[in-house]
Chains A and B, each alone.
Chain A
C-alpha cells in the first residue's frame, strides 16, 4: 500500500478560481519526488494540503491510512509529527540558538506543559547533536540562527524536520533563495535522507535541471492540474514546455553530433 494517496484533490481560496483541481497521485515509501511548475500553479498549496496547513475543499488526502481531511485537532497534531516540513525562508526563530531551533521539532510529541517548560530528554538532545553533526553544522550548535548563512540555516531547518522522525519530508522550494553551491549541498542532504534513512521526500522546485538530476519521479503542475507524472528521465523538453507554457527551440542536431 502506498504511503500517500491524493485523490481528486481540489482547493480554492476565494470560491472562484481553483488553485488545485482534480489532482491525483500516489507516493510510495522511500520515493524522492519533485513537483515542478510555474509560479502560482499550486505547488505550495498542494504541499500544505498534505499536512493540512490549508483545509482541503474537495477530494481526499490519505496519509499512512488516515484520511487527513477528517482528522480532529488532536489527531492532526499527531499526524503532523509524522510529516516534516522545510521552507524556502527556513522559518527558524532568529533569536534562538541552533540547537533550540532543532529541538522545536519535538513539540509535537510534548504535552503543553512539557513543551512550554522546554523539557527535552537527553536522548532528544543527543539526537539533535547527531543530526547537526551529520548535516555538518554541529560547530554552530550554540550560535544564534541569524548569525548563520542561508545554506546553514536551511540545514538547521532540515535538522528540525528530521528530529520529528517523520515518515515524509515536504520541502517548499528549499533552494529558491540559495546560491548554486549551497543549493547543491542542500539537495545532496535531502537526497541522502531518502537514500540512507528511507524517508520519503516531496520537493517543490523551480529548477527543472535540479529536479531531473535528483528525483526518482517528477510531477508537473500547471494551473492546478497535474500535466506530467512520470520518472525523471521521461521529462523531455517538449513536456517541460507543456508544464511551463513556453516554447523552447529544438536543440540543433549539429551540436549534438559535434559533442559525440
Chain B
C-alpha cells in the first residue's frame, strides 16, 4: 500500500482527513478565546435596576407601536415623498459623479492599460480612502463645506470613487489581452483602444457596479441625513426618534426606507443576473 506513507493518523489511531497545519490551530484557538470572552462579558455588566420581565414587555410594546401602528404626525405624505426624493438625490448625485470620475481613474488603475508604478500609486491611494468610513469623510469635508448636503455628497463621492475604481479596474483587467494586442497591432492609439475595445466589452459590468453602488449610497445617504444634517428622510428619522420620541413616525419612515431598499435590491439583482458572468458575480 503506497498511500499509507502519506496517511496521517490521530492520537487514537483513526485516520485524519484534516491537513492539520498551523492555520487551523490558530483559527480554533481564536474561536475558543472569543467564546470565553463573550461569556465573561455578560458577568461584568451592570444589572442594577433591571427588571427583565418589564424590559421584555416594554420592548415588545415599543416594537408593536413602531411597526403595527405606523403613522405620520409631524409632516404629511407629500413632504415625506419629497424628503425621500432628497435622499435619493444625494445618493444619485454622488453615484453618477463618482462613476464618471471612477471611469477615468480606473483606466489608470488597470494593469493592462497603464504602466505598473502608476497603477500601484493609484491603488494604494484608493485603498487608503476605502479604509476610512464614509461618515468620517463626510465629517472631514464638513470642515471645509460646513455640515449639510455638500459635505455629504463630497464624502460619499470620495468613498464611491474608491469603491468603483477597484471594481471598474478589475473589470477592465478581465478584457482579453489579445483584443488589446490586435488593436495595437493595427496602429490604434491608446484612446482608440479604450473607447472601442475596453468600453464595449465592459459596459454592462460598469452599469451593474454603478447600480450596486447606488444602492449602497442610498443606505449611506439615510445615515448621512442624520449624522451630517444633509436633510432627506434620514434627518426626519433622526428628528422623530431623538427629538419627538414619536415611535409611530419612526415605524412609518422605517417602512418607507425598507420599501425603497427592496425595490433597489430587486432592480440590481435583475441587472446582475442579466449582465454578470458567473466569474465576477459576488
Which A residues form the contact surface with B (CB < 8 A)?
51, 53, 77-81, 83-85, 87, 89, 91-96, 100, 104-110, 112, 115-116, 118, 157, 160-161, 164
Q: Which residues of B contact A87 (CB under 8 A)?
A: 178, 181-182
Task: Say whether B179 contacts A91, CB under 8 Å.
Answer: yes
B196 in the interface (beta carbon within 8 A)? yes
Task: Say whether A108 contacts B186, CB under 8 Å.
Answer: yes
Q: Which residues of B contact A81 (CB under 8 A)?
A: 186-187
User: Closest residue to A170 on the B side, CB-wise?
Assistant: B185
Interchain pairs with CB closer than 8 A, number: 85
Task: Say whether B188 contacts A53, CB under 8 Å.
Answer: no
The contact sample of 26 A-B pairs, CB cut-off 8 A, is A79-B187, A80-B187, A81-B186, A87-B181, A89-B176, A91-B176, A92-B179, A93-B179, A93-B201, A104-B197, A107-B183, A107-B189, A107-B192, A107-B196, A108-B186, A108-B187, A108-B188, A110-B192, A112-B189, A115-B188, A115-B192, A116-B196, A118-B195, A157-B182, A160-B182, A160-B186
B200 in the interface (beta carbon within 8 A)? yes
Q: Which residues of B contact A115 (CB under 8 A)?
A: 188-189, 191-192, 195-196
Residue-by-residue, is B161-191 near A (CB-CB < 8 Å gives 1, otherwise 0)?
0000000000000001011011111111101
Kindly identify which residue among A79, A91, A94, A95 contacts B182, using a CB–CB cutoff of 8 Å: A91
Bound-state Cα–Cα, A161 to B187, Å: 11
Among A77, A85, A91, the one with the most B-chain Cβ atoms within 10 Å of its Cβ is A91
Kindly identify which residue among B176, B179, B185, B192 contacts A80, using a CB–CB cutoff of 8 Å: B185
User: Closest residue to B178 on the A side, CB-wise?
Assistant: A91
Shortest CB-to-CB span from B189 to chain A, Å, is 6
Bound-state Cα–Cα, A89 to B191, Å: 23
Bound-state Cα–Cα, A53 to B181, Å: 8
Task: Say whether A85 contacts B185, CB under 8 Å.
Answer: yes
Which B residues form the contact surface with A (CB < 8 A)?
176, 178-179, 181-189, 191-192, 195-197, 200-201, 203
Task: Say whether A93 contacts B191, CB under 8 Å.
Answer: no
Bound-state Cα–Cα, A25 to B200, Å: 40
Q: Which residues of A contact B191 (CB under 8 A)?
A: 112, 115-116
Bound-state Cα–Cα, A51 to B68, Å: 73
Task: Say whether A93 contacts B196, CB under 8 Å.
Answer: yes
Q: Which residues of A contact B184 (CB under 8 A)?
A: 53, 80
Q: Which 5 A-B pairs have the closest CB atoms?
A: A108-B187, A107-B188, A91-B182, A80-B187, A91-B178
Known: A80-B186, A110-B192. 16 other contacts (CB 8 A): A53-B181, A77-B187, A80-B184, A91-B178, A91-B179, A93-B196, A94-B201, A96-B200, A104-B188, A104-B197, A107-B192, A108-B186, A108-B188, A115-B192, A116-B196, A164-B186
Task: Say whether A78 contacts B187, CB under 8 Å.
Answer: yes
Shortest CB-to-CB span from A231 to chain B, Å, is 29
Main secondary structure of the interface of B (DSSP, over half): helix
Q: Which residues of A contact B196 (CB under 8 A)?
A: 93, 96, 100, 104, 107, 115-116, 118
Bound-state Cα–Cα, A107 to B194, Å: 12
Shortest CB-to-CB span from A63 to chain B, Å, is 13
Task: Say whether A89 contacts B178, CB under 8 Å.
Answer: yes
Among A79, A85, A92, A104, the one with the most B-chain Cβ atoms within 10 Å of its Cβ is A104
Q: Which residues of B contact A83 (CB under 8 A)?
A: 185
Q: Which residues of B contact A161 (CB under 8 A)?
A: 186
Bound-state Cα–Cα, A95 to B191, Å: 18
Shortest CB-to-CB span from A159 to chain B, Å, is 12
Task: Say whether B181 contacts A91, CB under 8 Å.
Answer: yes
Task: Say whether B187 contacts A116, CB under 8 Å.
Answer: no
Shortest CB-to-CB span from B37 to chain A, Å, is 51
Shortest CB-to-CB span from B128 to chain A, Å, is 32
Given contacts A91-B176, A115-B196, whether A105 and B186 have CB atoms under 8 Å apart is: yes
Task: Say whether B201 contacts A85, CB under 8 Å.
Answer: no
User: Closest residue to A117 on the B side, CB-wise?
Assistant: B195
Task: Say whether A95 contacts B201, CB under 8 Å.
Answer: yes
Bound-state Cα–Cα, A24 to B1, Å: 57
Q: Which residues of B contact A164 (CB under 8 A)?
A: 186-187
Bound-state Cα–Cα, A100 to B178, Å: 17
Bound-state Cα–Cα, A246 to B184, Å: 37
Task: Say whether B192 contacts A53, CB under 8 Å.
Answer: no
Shortest CB-to-CB span from A198 to chain B, Å, is 20
Bound-state Cα–Cα, A112 to B189, Å: 7
User: Closest residue to B177 on the A side, CB-wise?
Assistant: A91
Q: Which residues of B contact A80 (CB under 8 A)?
A: 184-187
Bound-state Cα–Cα, A77 to B189, Å: 8
Bound-state Cα–Cα, A199 to B179, Å: 24
Q: Which residues of A contact B185 (CB under 8 A)?
A: 51, 53, 80, 83-85
Bound-state Cα–Cα, A113 to B279, Å: 34
Among B189, B191, B203, the one with the most A-chain Cβ atoms within 10 Å of its Cβ is B189
Q: Which residues of B contact A89 (CB under 8 A)?
A: 176, 178
Bound-state Cα–Cα, A48 to B192, Å: 21
Given contacts A110-B192, A116-B191, whether A93 and B200 have CB atoms under 8 Å apart is: yes
